[in-house]
Amino acid sequence: MKVLVASALILVGSCSTLRHSEKIENLKDSISYDDKKIVEKYLNTINSEELKTHVEEISSEKYNGRMTGEKGHNEVCDYIRNYYKSQNIKAPESHPDYYQKVPKEVLPEGLNESQNVIAYIEGSEFPDEYIYIAAHSDHEGIIDGEIYPGADDNGSGTAAVFEMAEAFKKASEDGYNPKRSIVFLHVTAEEVGLHGSRYYTNNPVFPIENTISTLNIDMIGRVDERHKDDENYIYVIGSDRMSTELHFIVQEANSNFTSLNLDYKYNDDSDPNRYFYRSDHYNFAQKDIPVIFFFNGEHEDYTKPTDTADKINYQLLAKRTKLIFATAWYLANSPDRLNPEII
């Protein structure tokens, strides 16, 4: 009896004094892709040619720079919705036309009503748990008579979401339906103040408390000055702020599939650019949802009429898209729900 008590005490003692570094190592060890070959198969359907076709379409002059509430942006939302219809990826039951109207009352004065576009693949085991892959669809419109095409901002992110949706759909058709539901969310009114994502998180189509994580993409097709000598990188922002596990999942995805240099420069909260607060993931973070923001940094054509499709590095865009796909795959298919805890 005494011996048992004594060993129980020792056990309790050793658990509570488990060093932080050991906890981190245990967490890292618990994350692995047991289905690596399968992930690779669908990840390899993501290709630079299809990404190029979509970026060229989205940034084409006919959409007049996609200003929120304007005809050009409404037309590009139709293009987005038609893409999901063509892939047989369904709309939420509550929004069967894929559109969530964003009323003009919540938008800056002078703008017309707009819409978020929502499509999803229902999970096979945990259909009520949701992974979001998000990108804003709007841009700056026409300024001083010049069209702002926004090929990188955010044609690149929009095209990336399309390619991931297609890859998940193909996997589903082959019998590898994601265990959790995956929502493809194209929010409006980012450029005028993150309004589409704010409206969505205040009026979620799926229960917000069942949101596992949101992966937001805003500009991933170009290279910034800091990396001009080695383009094999992506900035990862926010991954460690609400879930230590999420931070290591993206690293595991990267070491298994993409070998990009993950640059955490802008994850530093003292960084004056404050990018964590400047794109749509922030509104999800405000609801305590673990988020990651994927970003290529600013470049000479950022928010200029010269952000055109011919300047996108499509091979790099494909590689970065694969990283996000592999991360989403893990979140959707891991046996346990992501642990929203900081260790």
Binding site for Zn ion (CB under 5 A): 153-154, 218
244-253 helix and 20-30 helix, angle to the nearest 10 degrees: 50
Nearer to Zn ion, 162 or 168 (CB): 162
Q: How far is CA 318 from the centre of its chain?
A: 14
> Which CB atom, from 180 or from 195, has the smaller least distance to Zn ion?
195
The CB-of-150 to Zn ion minimum distance in angstroms stands at 7
- Output b/e per residue, 161-183; b: 16+ Cβ within 10 A: bbbbbbbbbebbeeebbbbbbbb
Location of structure tokens 């900035």: 235
Is the Cβ–Cβ distance between 241 and 289 less than 8 Å?
A: no
Q: Min. distance of Cβ 204 from Zn ion in angstroms?
A: 22
Pick 176 or 294: Cβ nearer Zn ion: 294
Closer of 65 and 123 to Zn ion (Cβ): 65
Whichever of 70 and 153 has its CB closer to Zn ion, that residue is: 153
Nearer of residues 218 and 263 to Zn ion, judged by Cβ? 218
φ/ψ region of 160 (left if φ > 0, alpha if ψ in -120 to 50, else beta) reads: alpha
Strands (E), the chain: 99-102, 114-121, 126-136, 142-143, 146-147, 180-187, 211-217, 233-237, 261-263, 291-295
CB of 190 to Zn ion, least distance (A): 6
CB of 73 to Zn ion, least distance (A): 14
Quickly count: other Cβ atoms within 10 Å of residue 118's Cβ.
25
- Nearest approach in angstroms of CB 17 to Zn ion is 46
Which of 308, 313, 293 is CA-nearest to residue 217? 293
Phi, psi of 141 (to 5 degrees): 75, -140
Q: How far is the CB of 146 from Zn ion (least distance, A)?
A: 18
Torsion angle of the four alpha carbons 339, 243, 326, 116, in this order, in degrees rounded to the nearest 10: 100
DSSP assignments along 180-191, one per residue:
EEEEEEEES-ST
Nearer to Zn ion, 219 or 260 (CB): 219
Q: Which is nearer to Zn ion, 30 or 303 (CB)?
A: 303
| Nearest alpha carbon to residue 208 among 191, 189, 190, 185 | 185
